[in-house]
Every structure is written in C-alpha cells, then in structure tokens.
Structure 1
Amino acid sequence: MSDHISGPRALANPIADITDVYAFPSPERSGWLVLVMNTLPFAPAEGGFSDGLIYRFRLRPVDVDRIGRRVRASESPEWVIDCVFDARAADGAQRGQLTGPSGEVTPFDLGDESGSDHGAGVRIFAGPRWDPFIMDAPAGLRTIAEQRLSFTDPGSIYLDGKNVLALVVELDCARLLGRVDPVAVVAETLTRGTFSVRIERVGRPEVKNLLLGPKQFDQVNRDLEIRDLYNMEDAFHLGSSYAGAYRARLHANLAFWDGLDGVVQWPVDASGAHPLTGLVLADHLVVDPSQPYVEQGSFLEIERAVMSGDLPRTCGGRALNDDVIDVLYNLWINAGSGPVISDGVDASSRPASTVFPYLAPPNPDPPAPPEHL
C-alpha cells in the first residue's frame, strides 16, 4: 500500500514500482532539501538499481491562490534531477550518476552512506534500506471490502521487515535552484533510452491504491482499472482524455470514505463533485525548505492551511517518520473534526534518523514476498 504495487504495470515490473516519496528540509543543513524515492517492494538486502531506468525528481515553485484557497504548482521554472545507474559489476558494485537542474553531473557509488559530497551542492545515497512503512494495509483493504471501519488497536504492519531500494538526494536549494522557497515535488520512473516512457509517478501517498483503486463505488467507470492510466500522466499537466474518469472515480471513493463514520463532512455539489477531488488531483508534495525540519503535523499542513484561509505554520512535505495514513483517514472521513481515527500503527518498527542517509539499514533476512499479490 501507500504506493506499493499501485497497478498492473507495477506488479509486472516491480523494479520500476515507486513505493513511497518523501520531501523534507534537511535536519542537518539549513536551506537544504531532502528528496527520497523508494522503489522495488520486497527488495533483497543486497539489491541494486536497474540500468534500464531513469529515476527522476521534478520540482516546481508553488503559487498560493488565496481567493480560490488552493496551492498550485507554477508553470515554470521546472527543476529536474535525474539518476541513472550502470549495470552491476560481478562483485555487486554499482556506479550511478546524478544530473542536476543545470546539467551538472555528480557520480556516486551504491551503498555509500557518506553521500559522496563533492562540493556540488548535493549529497546522494542509493541502496537497500528497511521499508519505513507506517500502515496496517490489510485493515485498509478490509475497510473498503466490508464498507465499515475495520481498524484495530494495535494494528500491524504487513510483512514488517521488508526492504526497498532507497534513493536519497539532498540538495542545496540556493545553489541548485537559485532560491529557498516552497516547491512542489513529484518522483517518476521512466524507461532509459531513445524512446522514454513514464512507468510510474508519485506525489502524495495512497492516491492510487485507496482512492483510485476501488471500483465498486464508481457508477461511471466501474470496470475500468484506472491506475496505470494515471501513472502515465504528467503530474503537472493532467491530460484531458481521462480526466473525467479520474474525477468520477475520486468523487465516488472520497464520498465512500466520508460516509464511514455516518456523518457527511464533505457534501458533494449538485453534480456529485466531491470538494476534495481538486486537492487530490494536484498530486504532488508541497514542502518549504526555508522552514525547520519537523516530524508529525506537517504533512498536508500547507495545503490545508490555505484551504482554511490561514497562513501555513510548518515546512509541509512528508518526513520519513510521519504517520501520514492517519492524517489521510481523518481528512477523508471526518475532516479532522471528530474522534481521532487510527489504523493502530503509529510508527515504523525501524524509525528513520535525523542523520544522512536517514533511512534504517536493510533487513538482512527480510520476509519472503507473498505468492499472490
């Protein structure tokens, strides 16, 4: 869940499957921004990255529309950070290179926890790490299937101890972006070569699996598996061809979540449009690297403050130890105004640190992936 196995293509090509994306101010360096892209669910403890993929972060400034009470990604400039990898050597070593927004190239080695800071305003780590997964995924799926809140206290992390391939990029915003301002962040995996195809893109957690995945509540496109189509979209320029299908699915599924406690906090309009659909489709993390690093309470804080007509108070974004699933459940189900809803999982069993590369070391003996996903 979160974004693990978020569609048929991700299941067929797990090496390109983005499981989670994080963006937060560096706890160690003022004005630096940390970007994290985790891929490959159930990665082996000695796993390496694909030499056939581009691992890409895209960043844009954000505009605050105080009249419309929403935060929007600007049209320009756009900063792109690409990481690619050579084929692994016989001894397991692997070399990668990062191409920054201005075209500067920084080489790095698989598993180098120092970050290989060559004075280029960037630190990079790539390698297997413990999946910082904070969610009772089966309970979320039961809630959808049974159409009732199915969480327990405590909950449990599904197959806890699984690994992912983590790509951590920490950048000096003033040097590489020319500013230290709020930005919108999206991560992508693309095929590498003369014909490039976007395999997956991720901004916020659980857009695909919990909001676009369920089909049974959508009376317009009930038979359509929509997640692969959504993955191929440009996060900053949603195409018109399937926009109506995405909206119909989100209107229906957001209304389902809102009704689980028996109280409607987000009434749809006369056409059936849900008031959170626009927020969901602006599918990127919004983070302010000029603000101090903080855990808990910052995820979606910038967007929700603007929606309420207030000024943001935190850095926003998503930190590795944030329990974002509970934030989403409380937003969708009771708008944060009722009894707190929790899936019973509040922290990772191996929390992240505040020291680069932040994620916990990989599990040397991870659980085997399930036979049927």
Structure 2
Amino acid sequence: MSDHISGPRALANAIADITDVYAFPSPERPGHLVLVMNTLPFAKVSNALSEGLIYRFRVRPLTANPPGGQPPFNAGPEHGAEEFVFDCVFSPPTIQDDQPFQQEGTCTTPSGERVSFRVNDEAGGSGHGVRVFAGARWDPFILDAPAALKTVATGQLAFAELGAIYMDGKNILGLVVEIDTALLGGATLVGVVAETLTRGTFNVRIERVGRPEVKNLLLAAKQFDPVNQDLEIRDLYNMEDAFHIQHGYEGAYRARLNANLAFWDGLDGKTDWPLNGTVHPLTELVLADYLVVDVTKPYQEKGSFLEIELAALGSRGHQTCGGRTINDDVMDAFFTTFINAGNGPIISDGVDKSTRPASRSFPYLSPPNPTPPEKPEHH
C-alpha cells in the first residue's frame, strides 16, 4: 500500500501507479547508487511496461539549510537548479505464437547517452555508467495495510503482535537503474524522486513518489482537516514538482498535513511533537517529499530511512546513507517517528520482513510469483 492506489487517477490508470521507490548505495558495487521504481499494483508475469509512459528518476544535489531550518535541505532554485534525470521508455510488446512477450527498453542518462535492455532479462543492460533492469517482480512492501487503515478509521492503534502483509505474494513491475555516482557531478547528498509521465510531445506527470505512505496515510484522511474536509487532495499533490511545491494548493497540503500528523502523534495518548499554533513541526519535512541519500556512506540494510532528515532536524550529524533500502522495515520507522518521536517503544505493525527478501546483487528485487493472488474486486 506504500503508494499503491494513491488517488483516483492512480486507480484509473494502474499501469502508471508507482507503488514504491527505493534509493540506496549498491551493496555489491561501491561508488554506485541504486534507484528502484515499482509500478502496477497486482501485476501479472504477462504484463508489459507501458510504451505510453516515461519512467523518470530525478536526482538533485542538496545543501543543508541552517540548523532548525524548514525543511532541513535545499534542493536549489525552482528554475535552473542542477538536476540529473534518468528516463526509461519501452517499445510496444511483441508476441509470437505461445512465447512470452518480448519488449525492449531504453534508458537515457543525464548526458543523453542511451542504454538498451530487454524486459525480464535478469542481466539487464549496461553502458555509460548505468545498469538497468525492468520486469515483473515480487512486491517487497512490508505493511499490515488493513491494520493501518483501521487505525485511521477508529483513532486507535490497531496493530497486532503478529500482523500480515496485505495480499502477500502480489507482484509489481520493477524498474532498477544502478548508476555510477561519477554521473552526479560530485554531489554527495542528493534528493531522489520517481515519476511516471505521459510520453509524447506533451508530458503530463501522472504520479510522483519520494517517501512511502505520504499520500495514503498522511494526506488521504479528510476527517481531521479543519479546512478541506471534502477535498481528495492526492491527485493535486501528484501533479506537483516534488522539489518545489507551486503557490496555489500549498495551503491545502499544509492544513491536511498539520491535522493528520497531529492525529498520528496523539495515538499513544501524549504529544511528542508540540504544535506551533496549528503548525506541526514535521509538516515542511514531509512536504519536501523526496528520499535523501548520502552517496558517500556505505550500504546499510536497516535503520537508514529518515535518519538523515531527523539528524538535521535535531542539529546533529547523520550517520547512515539514508534513503530507503528494499529490506528495511521502514513502516516501523514511520509509525515510531510520527507517533512517539522515538521517545518510546518501537511502534510495529507486526510485520518485519518480506516473505521473499531482496538480494544484495543486481537486480535486487526477487523473482515474481507465478501465481499471485487475484486483485480484489473493490480495487
């Protein structure tokens, strides 16, 4: 559910629905950064990637704002900021007799070099400092989603000691781009966001994802919002540039986040994030919705998610690579941060690992389930 079905447009255009985004230093090749974008909830092995989309990773060098600054990092000016874009596009799939479909992909680097690869080829394609894989894979997201939604609906923590991954064994279409950090022009601290856009002469952003569960657990609930209780805000949010929210709807995003972050903080009966008037101290950090990665730090499988941002918020140096690894149970970090600010026990949803964990070698994501559970009718 991380970013699965994150608004009406994602529900209507499932092929463009980004389910998860990961960014982490390569555990097998020092000096390389791994970018992962998973799409199409409840994918089948027979599903191809869309020839009508651009699958885009945007990587921006970040600079630290002064201590106590909000957000903790600056992604550069709105126009003219240095940015490294990796675009992947796909040919229409071809089917011959009873053979599996064939599909070609092309990844374009920031300098315009192109790398070709074949979908579902585990070796992927490589060249110009880039290695790329795309194809059906096991959905690695770790969460008892019904319990999380029940928590929002009832206002009571609904997690059990032993939870279950929702529809475990479902697949996604994975896209893995591993890049030589030399392509980043010397940048050491970067922000990463993934997007799907329409392909053609006019590109419209369908979805964009940085951190997990911002849309479904921090923006979707309307009932706590004192300003816009009837507004489905997620499609508007998806259209925004992750590095620069436009003046227009930002007041609506802030009102929703202030209210919903306060809701999560109150679930344990105490306030760990005191409001400044109506403003929650994490709202600007959440609104700067991209993964923050230190590419000079080594791969760390567990405990790096949000570490850089929270260290900056506390005016201390960070210790990890940050970002998000595939096997890290980031939702425990999510719940613990927002509910008790790390001032109490770990808040767990009762699920701590994927049934098929990712490997430490390319393409990292586990092979797909040949017989995945059927997509529920209400989706």
Which residue of 2 is the match for residue 149 of structure 1? Answer: 157
Structure 2 CA distance, aligned partners of 1:219 and 1:371? 33
**Shift of residue 180, structure 1, vs aligned partner:** 5.0
- Corresponding residue of 1:242: 249
Is 1:301 the equivalent of 2:307? Answer: yes
TM (normalized to structure 2)?
Answer: 0.96
What do you get for the CA RMSD once the two structures are aligned?
0.9
Looking at structure 2, the residues matched to 339 and 297 of structure 1 have their Cα atoms a distance apart, in angstroms, of: 15
CA distance in 1, matches of 2:273, 2:125: 48
Q: Which 5+ residue runs of structure 1 have no aligned equivalent?
A: none
Matched, 1:86 2:91: yes
State the Cα deviation string for residues 146-190 of structure 1 (Å, max 9, x = none).
10000001000010000000000000011x222251110000000
Out of 88, 100, 109, the position equivalent to 2:109 is 100
Pairing of 1:135-174 with structure 2 (within 5 A): 135-174=143-182
The separation in 2 between residues aligned to 1:4 and 1:145, in whole angstroms, is 19
Q: Provide the rounded CA distance (Å) in 1 between the counterparts of 2:236 and 2:351.
A: 31
SS at match of 1:15: helix
Q: What is the rounded CA distance, in whole Å, between the counterparts of 2:316 and 2:87 in structure 1?
A: 35
Q: Answer yes or no: is 1:206 the counterpart of 2:213.
A: yes
- 2:86 aligns to what SS in structure 1? strand
Deviation for aligned residue 1:68: 3.0
Q: Which runs of 4+ in 1 moved over 6 A?
A: none
- The structural deviation recorded for 1:114 is 1.2
The sequence identity of aligned pairs, in percent, is 65
Q: Aligned pairs, how many? A: 370
Q: Secondary structure at the match of 1:42?
A: strand
Is residue 31–residue 180 contact of structure 1 (8 Å, CA) maintained in 2?
Answer: no
> Which sections of structure 2, spanning at least 5 residues, go unmatched?
none
CA contact (8 A) 1:24 1:34 kept: yes
The 2-side partners of 1:320 and 1:290 are apart by 19
- Report the Cα distance in structure 1 between the residues aligned to 2:45 and 2:343, rounded to whole angstroms: 42
Q: Deviations over 1:9-49 (max 9, x none)?
A: 00000000000000000011111000000000000022210
Contact kept in structure 1, 2:118 and 2:124, CA below 8 Å: no
- Three-state SS of the structure 2 residue aligned to 1:40 is strand
- Following superposition of structure 1 onto structure 2, how do residues 257-336 of structure 1 map, counting pairs within 5 Å? 257-270=264-277, 272-336=278-342
Query: Partner amino acid for 1:30?
Result: P
After TM superposition, list the pairs within 5 Å mapping 1:26-65 onto structure 2: 26-65=26-65
Who is 2:141 aligned against? Answer: 133
Q: Structure 2: how far apart are the matches of 1:17 and 1:288? A: 27
Mapped partners of 2:108, 2:264: distance in 1: 41
Shift of 1:296: 1.0
Counterpart for residue 11 of structure 1: 11
**Alpha-carbon distance between aligned partners in 2 of 1:178 and 1:212, rounded to the nearest angstrom:** 35
For the 8 Å contact 2:68–2:315, the answer to whether it is kept is no
**C-alpha distance in structure 1 between counterparts of 2:67 and 2:40, whole Å:** 41
Q: Does 1:114 align with 2:118?
A: no
Contact 1:66-1:306 within 8 A present in 2 as well? no
Deviation of residue 67 (structure 1)? 2.6
- TM-score, length-scaled by structure 1: 0.98
Shift of 1:111: 1.1
Aligned residue for 2:43, secondary structure, equals coil
Cα offset for 1:53? 0.2
